[in-house]
Amino acid sequence: MSVFPMCSTCENEYLNVLNRRFHAEPTCCSICGPYVKLFDNKNNILAEKEDAIKLFINKIKEGYIVALKGIGGFHLICDGLNNRAVKKLRIRKKRSDKPFAVMFSNIQEIKKYAFLSHVEEKYLKSISSPIVILKKKPNSLLAKDISIKINRVGAFLPYSPLHLLILKELKNPIVATSANISEEPIITDYESLQYKLSNVFDFVLDHNRVIINGCDDSVMRLSGAIPIVMRKARGMAVEFFNLSQKFKRNVLAVGAHQKNTFAFGIENKIIVSPHIGDLESLYSNKDFTNTFNRLKDIYNFSPDIVVHDMHPDYFSTHWAKNLNIPMFSIQHHHAHALSLMLENQFKKNDNLFTAVFDGTGYGTDKTLWGGELLNVSYSSFERIGHFQAFKLIGGEKAIKEPRRVALSLLFQFYGKDALKLKHIQQMGFTENELLTLYSIWQKDINCPFTSSAGRLFDAAGSILNIRQIITFEGETGLIMEDYYDSSIKNVFQYSIENGVISVKSIIEGLLNSKNKVIGASIFLNTIADIIIKFAEPYKEFGISGGVFQNSALVDKVYKNAKKKKLKLFTHIKYPPNDGAISLGQAAHLLYKE
């Protein structure tokens, strides 16, 4: 606040030991405190202070796309009941299907548009004020393009005075999505906003208090009463994890490539950074470095050793090499399981059988793992089981196109005869493309092997014609939840030989499914059944990995475990996705050294 010299009135209050403002730095004084300005997207100032807020609210009412500087960065905002405005925001931000978050003025307003349990309400009203993913009510008046093909809405409450002022006057919920280019960190300064997104917003309400630490909104959902944190950021991070023993030296854990966080291991604490995001762009990489430098200074931290993912091409690994300190690697899914163990306070010599299901992670055999059933200790792990490996036609392109994953599995089980199946037609390939893809699959041209449960979800979604091409990570599984019918108890047949789960019968079951509801329900039941089958001999087990953001699957695993009298461990405060990898990496070095 040093950039706001105090007026005489404020200075007298600040220096008076008997005044409630004695040494209180924040100020909202209309003379010497921070204030807002309204700009258009051509950098012209239209209004200041109260007039700027009034004009800003009118622009929302008129259907414009606006940007608002908050506490951790800018939001892009529009009227949540105006579908034309929401559609315009989708087009401009090039965000075709991924749901938008919606800010509501209070709990009563949320209840008009979405179902809300007592536990969900508790999290919404908590001090962290996260986005909570809720089920929409039928015939909701929310703009239909807020969430396309998904019967959910990410709801949150105002957490700054500006939010409260705007919603009080507007009397409508607002779409409030992070102002950023896809997969990059949230924008925190006006100049970057104008440079990157002036073609997206029409007007921007900026304030003149600098945001030192950019921080996105935290996101969570519930499976029954089990919380699933999807992004640990504003209000939830930075967080101290207290340990029963001390680190022998200062440890830096640099996390994964997607949904990145890093962690410091200092004495008897692990400090996990806020969510940084996917390290795919120069801007994200710069944000990783800047966040590290800020937290390093705050905690007076100097690393003695760095622990990183085994994947040789992760940015975080290459970045760590430049520190010129000893390096140590850990397998991706091992780190997932260790984050779960540490969160649930397992001791140094404990073991935990863990199902770790995600998109992809680099395996010890240099293939892409992702459907792993592991017996884990802090120092090592044993791979008890996994889904049979299949090829990803086109490598990373298959991650965006579930139809390629499905096609690969059909080629694996039926050879070229797969091209005669009626399901091929719905995939949208031309005849020439199918022949080319078969040749690529047959000759192993850019077709890495994977055991990924996440990709198996994609294949199921393609065969059931739920999604052939996805626009955001986990889209297939999220849509599949809406088709899930808990009254359906059947499972597809499957076989396990030497720990390898054959998926041929599962694929055949999907091909023969009468509709999406039956197919999706039996598929999710089958995945849950496989986990319980492996877990039974251990009496207790855990689940970790991005696939377990699927609330229908988590709920089914929980209920099956209860029937079998098995104790289930889940993440509560940390994400099951890669956001907790750094915590697991730090835990590995804590107990291994």
Q: Which of 314, 124, 286, 303 is nearest to 214 (CA)?
A: 286
Q: What is the pLDDT of residue 27?
A: 79
Residue 566's φ and ψ, nearest 5 degrees, are: -100, 145
Q: Which of 381, 330, 379 is nearest to 353 (CA)?
A: 381
Q: What is the pLDDT of residue 184?
A: 83
| SS3 label, residue 399 | helix
Two structure tokens written together for 50: 């109260």
Q: What is the pLDDT of residue 1?
A: 82
Two structure tokens written together for 326: 């000893």
C-alpha 152/C-alpha 484 separation (Å) is 14
Through-space distance between the first and last CA atoms of the chain, rounded to whole angstroms: 43
C-alpha 59/C-alpha 199 separation (Å) is 16
Q: Are 378 and 566 in contact (CB under 8 A)?
A: no
Ranges of H-type helices in 417-489? 431-443, 453-463, 475-483
Which part of the chain is CATH 3.90.870.40? 35-220
The answer for 430, left when phi > 0, alpha when psi is -120 to 50, beta otherwise, is beta
Hey, how many other C-beta atoms are within 10 angstroms of the C-beta on 301? 16
Q: Is the pTM here over 0.85, yes or no?
A: yes
Which part of the chain is CATH 3.30.420.40? 390-569
Q: Looking at this protein, which amino acid is placed at residue 466?
A: I
Q: What is the mean pLDDT of each run of 10 residues along the chain (593 residues)?
A: 90 94 85 94 96 97 97 96 97 94 97 96 95 94 93 96 94 96 89 96 96 93 93 90 93 96 96 93 92 95 97 95 95 98 95 97 96 97 98 95 97 96 94 96 96 97 96 92 96 97 97 97 98 97 97 97 98 96 96 80
Q: Which CATH class is domain 246-344+576-592?
A: alpha beta
Q: Which CATH class is domain 390-569?
A: alpha beta
Dihedral sign for Cα atoms in the order 554, 560, 563, 566: negative
C-alpha 419/C-alpha 410 separation (Å) is 9
Residues in the chain: 593
Q: Are 542 and 352 in contact (CB under 8 A)?
A: yes
Ranges of H-type helices in 135-281? 161-170, 190-197
Fold of 35-220: DHBP synthase (3.90.870)
